[in-house]
Amino acid sequence: MQFNDFGTITGVRYIKFKAYGRSDSPWNTVSEIRFYTVPTASVDDNELSGFLLHPNPVDESLILKDLNNTVNKVDIIGLDGKLIMTKTIKI
């Protein structure tokens, strides 16, 4: 069984103990201790204005209206932090 077989919760730290012993003995051995944190997909805080994005949530099509004509590239990143799509916009 792997550590992440139970799933993880963002922002929570985990400790894994690997121990050996017998139920009829007062002596047990801890052979391994590991500390884990769950990485999160995040971006720096940005103040964005002047555009509309809909629908939310997206089914098949995402509509981006740039009211200031300042967006020239869009990266779509999934909740797992992986890049789904990159689109360059020509104005």
**Comparing C-alpha atoms, which of 86, 62, 61, 64 is closest to residue 75?**
86
Return the number of other C-beta atoms located less than 10 Å from residue 8's C-beta. Answer: 13
Indicate the pTM of the whole model: 0.40
Q: Say whether pLDDT at 10 is over 60.
A: no
**Rounded distance, CA 4 to CA 8, Å?**
7
Looking at per-residue confidence, does 37 or 29 come out higher? 29
Q: Say whether pLDDT at 54 is over 60.
A: yes
**Rounded distance, CA 11 to CA 25, Å?**
37
**Comparing C-alpha atoms, which of 64, 42, 43, 44 is closest to residue 53?**
64
Predicted pLDDT of residue 1:
43
Instruction: Looking at the chain, list the stretches that DSSP marks H as alpha helix, in order from N- to C-terminal side.
Output: none
Where do the domains of the chain lie? 3-37, 51-88
Please answer whether residues 31 and 21 qualify as being in contact, where contact means their C-beta atoms are separated by less than 8 angstroms: no
